[in-house]
Amino acid sequence: MGTISSAFSIISGALDADQAALNVVSNNVANANTTGYSEEVPTFEQSQTINVNGKTYGTGVSETGATSLRDRVLEQRLDQQQQSASASGARLTALNNIQALFTPDSGASSSTAGDIGSDITKFFSSLSSLEAEPTDSSLRLNVLSTAKTLSGDISNAAASLHSQQAGLDQDTTGVVSQINSLTTSIAQLNQQIQAASPSDASGTLEDQRQQDLSDLSKLIGINQVTTANNGVQITTTSGQLLVAGGVSNQVEGGIVNGVTDYSVNGTDVTSELASGGGELGGYLTARDQDIPSALSSLDQLAYSISTSVNAQNNQGTDGDGVTGSTANPLYIFSEPATVAGSAASMSVTMINSSQIAAAGAGKGTGDNSNAVVMANLAKQSIVNGQTATNYYSSFVSSLGSTVSGVETENTALNASVTQLQSQSNALSKVNLNDEASALTTLERSYQAASQVFSILNTIIQSALNLGESTAVS
């Protein structure tokens, strides 16, 4: 039924559609810099045709809404890379703090104080110097002073590591509270999206949820699965359920052995979280792996030096003629009970330098044989099968390698995140040139429709004037 009035309604439908599309384009331009906003494309659909007496008549166009341009798979890949990049980034920061405690001695005379390697050497050298003149009180005082420097630097390093560990612990608590609020928000969005647009990926709710998901990925390692009704199910990389439909499970922390352990639904997942990725994974790895490893190396070093030197000093005769014994031991350092904790508690307990047993047992005070043996402890494998200096050298070397490895990994991951981000932006971010050309197209199409409207108006005017002598305008 191709009447003029039906043509009018088709054209007004077209004008409406163009207006709606212009709305979408303006929305795009307005949100060009909004984080997480993906470009929307208006969808034009031909309206249902009408069939009258075997003839088909079209009924125009309608704008059925806007589709967001997004690639779910690309976004997931980006999120996963973000997880790994954040994890290595957080771990790298913590590792840099650890390695700052062991800056290499440049060897210049004004080099940084507190280098443990130099302290070890100076301590054993002071014993070598004592060989020359075992009764010299200034040489004896020097032995005690180098011992104090060594024990001071080791115990300071251990104390710093402990406080860094506490700092990381606090960081994890902060991250976990952020995670909990994000999972709650995602669960709510799931419900809202399910109600609003269960069948297609569009809309600002979708954008918000994606933004939350990508923020969450930076914080914790997750796997996401799209469920029925456009929902998203989130589990940790080790399989603990965080969000399912409209329900979110909180990550709870509790103090165990002085550090905070985390559990989901009652299951302790701290070690899985550490290897799972995200900032939380990075912090937990540094807190539970890197720092304890450095501490245990320092403990081993402190324990071996303290016990070996103490034992040897106790086997000689000191400057007062007293020979060491088990009842009244002549100990220079405080004797540690266990390896664990011996670095933090390393200290010099000897007050009188005359108690340094330079002479062999039973010899006169001018003898230096015990001083020779004590000085030679520097060349003996007293720490886990290595000399003290070699042990420290391996320690710094391996710490440096670990940090360097994480640095390299971090750079590579950040580069890949940047690349994926570019790809994602190319697809979803508002391109102002595209919007400008869309705007021009819609403008022209609106012009064309309104031109048709004027023409139809003229036609009706002519129709109304058919067979009449007076004109109606």
Partner 1 sequence: MRVDPSYVTNLVGALDQTQVNEQQLSSELSSGVSVSSLSQNPVASGENVLLLNHIQQDDSFTQTSSLVSGKLQVADTALSQVVTQLNTAISLATRANNGTMNASNIQSISKQLAGILAEVTTLANTSYQGQYIFAGSQSSAAPFSTSTSTTPATTTYSGDSSVNYLETPNGQSIQLNVPGDQIFQGSGTSSVFGALNNLIADYASGTVDTAKAVSDTAALNTSLNYVSQQRVTIDNSLTQLTAASEAVSSDQTQLTTVQSNLMQADYATVSTQLSLAETQQTALISVIAQLNSTSNTLFSKL
Q: Which residues have C-beta within 8 Å of that of residue 335, sequence separation ≥ 6? A: 306, 307, 310, 329
Q: From the CB of 82, what's the least distance to partner 1, in Å? A: 15
C-beta closer to partner 1: residue 275 or 421: 421
CA distances from 128 to 213, 351, 358, 423 (A): 64, 20, 10, 66
C-beta closer to partner 1: residue 187 or 371: 371
Q: For Cα atoms 44, 49, 51, give the angle at the middle one, nearest 5 degrees.
A: 175
Q: From the CB of 409, what's the least distance to partner 1, in Å? A: 12
**What one-letter code names the amino acid at 341?**
G
Dihedral (Cα; 157, 163, 164, 165), 10-degree rounding: 110
Q: In 250-349, where do the E strands start and end?
A: 251-256, 259-264, 267-268
C-beta closer to partner 1: residue 3 or 110: 110
Q: From the CB of 117, what's the least distance to partner 1, in Å? A: 4
Q: From the CB of 105, what's the least distance to partner 1, in Å? A: 6
Calpha distance 284→310 (Å, rounded): 38
Calpha distance 262→281 (Å, rounded): 12
185 near 169, Cβ under 8 Å?
no
Calpha distance 168→176 (Å, rounded): 12
Q: From the CB of 116, what's the least distance to partner 1, in Å? A: 9
Q: From the CB of 167, what's the least distance to partner 1, in Å? A: 19
Q: From the CB of 311, what's the least distance to partner 1, in Å? A: 20
C-beta closer to partner 1: residue 262 or 392: 392
C-beta closer to partner 1: residue 356 or 399: 399
Calpha distance 388→398 (Å, rounded): 15
C-beta closer to partner 1: residue 58 or 405: 405
Q: Which residues have C-beta within 8 Å of that of residue 269, sequence separation ≥ 6? A: 236, 238, 240, 262, 263
Calpha distance 93→395 (Å, rounded): 19
Q: CA-based Rg of the chain, rounded to a whole angstrom?
A: 39
Q: From the CB of 164, what's the least distance to partner 1, in Å? A: 16
Q: From the CB of 62, what's the least distance to partner 1, in Å? A: 27
C-beta closer to partner 1: residue 328 or 404: 404
C-beta closer to partner 1: residue 250 or 394: 394
Calpha distance 302→174 (Å, rounded): 34
C-beta closer to partner 1: residue 226 or 411: 411
